[in-house]
Structure 1
Amino acid sequence: APSSAGAGPRSSSAGGADPVEAQMASCGAFCALFDRACPANGCRDACAELLTAPRPCNALTAPYFDCMSAGIQISSMTSCEQIARWLDPLFECLGSSASACETSFKDVCSEPFKGHRACQLDGAP
């Protein structure tokens, strides 16, 4: 009976339409860039920690991580320590409510965050 479609407990998480799922997928694709150099980079755990808590600009993370994934190259010779020095401030910044934050990833990708105090990446108030 087609009239029952969408009813029941699963109606709230329809396939890929779940925004958190989309945000996690984009974050995961970004994290994959570091896997060759450092398989245990902790990036996906950071994604989960960031995106499972509702924050004002989580919705902006998917376009941001998609943009970053297209814009950065990570050499397979990069150390896990160096990757941590890039990723830790990035996730700290994305998850904070500080008015300014410093991260090595200063890129055109920060544009969507301008004006969003809770996760801006350009250091402007």
Structure 2
Amino acid sequence: MEKFRNKFIAFMYGRNGPDKLYRASVAVFMVLAVINIFVHSVILSVISWALFIWTMFRCFSKNVYKRSQENQAYLRLEEKVVKKFGMTKTMLTDKEHCYKKCRHCKAYLRLPKRSGTHTAVCPKCGEKITVKIR
């Protein structure tokens, strides 16, 4: 077994290997495969297997620079999505504050939940905003 392990390590030397995009695409492949068990769609099967082949190609590719760029693009997209949904979760669970978006820079302002009309200053762009809280 040790001999096989050493040969595999030698084979993977200089190759991209698994990264965050690899893990995400394998997860999507598995979800599509499970859905396809119940749906029995040829199109879904082709899409899921094409995704799997692309994932394995990325993993064993020797063009590490190109695969690294792909992974960085994925990480930027993932950060945007996580940031968006993280703020949504915060806004839904926080009962003591009201969240309003700045019209100028689109930053979220966290304001105390007191009814009435208030004037707030955006900490990001300095724009004065009149906010009506019910």
TM-score, normalisation: structure 1: 0.29
Return the structure number with greater relative CO, CA threshold 8 A, min gap 6.
1
User: Of Structure 1 and Structure 2, which has the larger fraction of its residues in strand?
Assistant: 2
Larger radius of gyration between Structure 1 and Structure 2: 2
TM-score, normalisation: structure 2: 0.28
